[in-house]
Amino acid sequence: MIEKDPLGFLTAIAAMAIVVYLMRAGGYWLIGRVTIGPRLRRMFDALPGAIIAATVAPAMLQGGLRAVLAVGAAAAVMIVLRNDFAAVVAGVAVAAGAFALGM
């Protein structure tokens, strides 16, 4: 498909890049005009955790027991060691082990 219309492909990529830039710049511009009080600050502080939960929850629901075990292992390692890399390694190891066991 790209070979047939390289200009259209590049135009689409450029248009998407421009839209992404405008959305990000617009967000910075908009938040610069808002007074950030304690309530809004608490919301912004909670936002990363909410995004992670919204990303992980569907994967756990569709992944079955293997995904639940992997996320549980990653969470446990993160609580104990406070190391992102170790948590990812533990999650991947548990998922691979569960897959090898036929789960």
Instruction: Return the SS3 of 3.
Output: coil
What global pTM score does this model have?
0.54
Q: What is the pLDDT of residues 46-89, one digit of tens each?
A: 888 888 888 888 888 888 899 999 999 999 999 999 998 999 99
Residue type, 2: I
Q: How many domains does the chain have?
A: 2
Residues 30 and 80 in one domain: no
Residues 63 and 99 in one domain: yes
Looking at the structure, do residues 24 and 53 belong to the same domain, yes or no?
no
Q: Are 61 and 30 found together in one domain?
A: no
Please report whether residue 42 resides in a domain: no
Full residue range of the structural domain in which residue 11 is found: 1-34
The separation between CA 35 and the C-alpha centre of its own chain, rounded to angstroms, equals 28
Model confidence pLDDT, tens digit, residues 33-57: 988 899 988 988 888 888 888 888 8
At 4, list the tokens.
């047939």
How far apart, in Å, are the Cα atoms of 38 and each of 26, 34, 45, 58? 23, 13, 10, 31
Q: Taking a C-beta distance cutoff of 8 angstroms, is the pair 34, 40 a contact?
A: yes
| H-helix segments, 1-103 | 6-31, 38-81, 84-100
Residues 51 and 97 in one domain: yes
Same domain (yes/no): 30, 55: no
Within this chain, do residues 54 and 11 fall inside the same structural domain, yes or no?
Answer: no
**Are 15 and 57 contained in the same domain?**
no
